[in-house]
Structure formats: structure tokens, C-alpha cells
Amino acid sequence: MEPGSVENLSIVYRSSDFLVVNKHWDLRIDSKTWRETLTLQKQLRHRFPELADPDTCYGFRFCHQLDFSTSGALCVALNKAAAGSAYRCFKERRVTKAYLALVRGHVQESQMTISHAIGKNNTEGRTHTMCIEGTQGCENPKPSLTELVVLEHGLYAGSPASKVLLKPLTGRTHQLRVHCSALGHPIVGDLTYGQAEGQEDQPFRMMLHAFYLRIPTQAECVEACTPDPFLPSLDVCWSPHTLLQPLDQLVQALRAACDPDSMDSGPGPCSPSTLLPEPGRLPPETEAQRASCLQWLSEWTLEPDN
């Protein structure tokens, strides 16, 4: 992807109820401050002024978030009913997300489940960051699970690097970045959790991309697969030399996986998928998490079910 501008918004899925955009890297989703020269909110308003809703805080109902530095698939609901149905999918953990990343070093295990609990870092000067349980300053760590599959080994700017597919099974702040760093394989270009490198060695972006998204709402299956940005033809610094797992096979697995509950409830518009063996049941939602979800929901969606 070329750098973002107000005109070059990329749409990868559109229906009467949803848009999925391919967000540029180093782009904020929304902002109320005049200092932000470009946001996804402004791109949407420029491209689809008729879809902007003045009753919402930012003009559009963003169903989830991506970090400023992360590119890729992000879903926008176009009305309250659609936003409510998407929220329920997120709340019930029926959404499938998969990310692509370039990480430093050659990851030796072909696939793994990362299970470090993640909490807020209360260390002075690092309070904007997260950390794993057991490290100094880790506050209120919560269970966190990420599945990782190695796609390729190669070199980035002459240093060993791996291309990986990451599937978060929980949604902690900075989860993928923290988990990769905890493995000793930080994401290339991650200045917050990565290894210190010389300025001349810094890539032009953080190499994390939301590649695949599926939201199985009751009315429709919102499914989008964005183009792979980590190709030698797009970034000459990336030079893969060993293929371990073809990406297209993993995409097929994501799309074809069956809903484990489908025999009881009947098939819906689409089903959640698993990429690797299920690592175990996730902990139940806490009252604090539920309260946070309900507060978020009440801003712009249908009233939640009791």
C-alpha cells in the first residue's frame, strides 16, 4: 500500500450494513482534534459523505480498533442494528481475526500457542505500554492467547526475519506486539516493544497487518481478506528464502473450518474457525469486562440482550 491520503481509501467488502476497509499504516481511526491531518474517519467522510451519521461521536460506527501503526481489515457498521449484531459477535468471541507480521529472527517452532498473561505497565515512563505477567511493574495481568504459524524465513535489511500468521484468541491491548516481543521475536519496526536498532536500520512502518476478518452476524457473514503487504515486490528489504507454510492454504483453512456448535444450533451465515488445535477454554467474562462492553455498546448500538 502507498502512504495514506484522503483520496485513496481502500474498500475490501461492502454491503448495505457494513464496510470493511484496508486501513493504511500510521493512520488514526478517528480524532476530534484539528491537529490530525488525516484519519480513517476523514477518508470515509470524503469518500462516503452520505453514510456519515451525525448522531455518532465520530460520524461512523467502528466495530473494533486497530493500532495507529497497524494496517489492514477494519469493519465499519452503517446503522445501529448492524453495529449491535457485530457487537454480539465480538462479545460472544465468534469473530475470527488473522494478522500477518514480519518478526525479527527465525522462529524455530513451525506453530505454537502463546499464552502469556498481559497487564498494564505501571513503571515510570512506560505507563502507556503493556507487559507480561511476572515482569516488573505488570499490573492486573489477564489471560491472553495468540496462535502463531511460521510462513517463511528470510532476511529483512540483511538481518534474520520470519513472516508469521498470528491469530489472537483474546483481545488485549497491544497483544500481538507484546506476545511476539515476549518470544524474543519482536515485530520489525515496532519501536515500543522491539529491540533497539540504529536509525538507519528502521523500516518505514511497523510490519503488522490485519490480514483476515470474519464477523458471522445473524443476517450476513462479513468476511474480508486483504492483500498481503509483505512481499519482496513491495518491499525490497524483505528477502524470503525458505517457505514453511503456504499462506493460501491457511486462508482456505480459515474459510473452511466448521463451527463446533453447528450440529446443535444449525449453520448460520458463516461460522467461526480455528487455525490450530484449541488450546483450552477461555476464562469467563468478568463483571468489569462486561461493564466496559455495555458502556461501549450503549454509545451507538442496539440495547444489549439481558
CB 75 within 8 A of CB 63: yes
Helix axes 80-91, 287-300, angle to 10 degrees: 170
Report the distance separating Cα 234 and Cα 228, nearest Å.
10
Alpha helices in 23-79 (DSSP H): 40-47
Active-site residue, selected from the candidate residues 26, 53, 55, 67: 67
Cβ of 284: how many Cβ atoms within 10 Å? 7
86 grid coordinates: 457485530
The 8-class DSSP code of residue 199 comes to: G
SS3 83: helix
What is the β-pairing status of strands 208-216 and 71-77? Answer: parallel
Phi, psi (degrees; rounded to nearest 5) at 7: -90, -20
145 neighbors 168 (Cβ within 8 angstroms): yes
Active site residue 67: yes
Exposure class string for 195-230: b at 16+ Cβ within 10 A, else e: eebeeeeebebbbbbbbbbbbbbeebebbbbbeebb
Q: Which three cell numbers stand for residue 75?
A: 469493519
* Cα four-point dihedral sign 107, 111, 117, 121: positive
Active site residues: 67
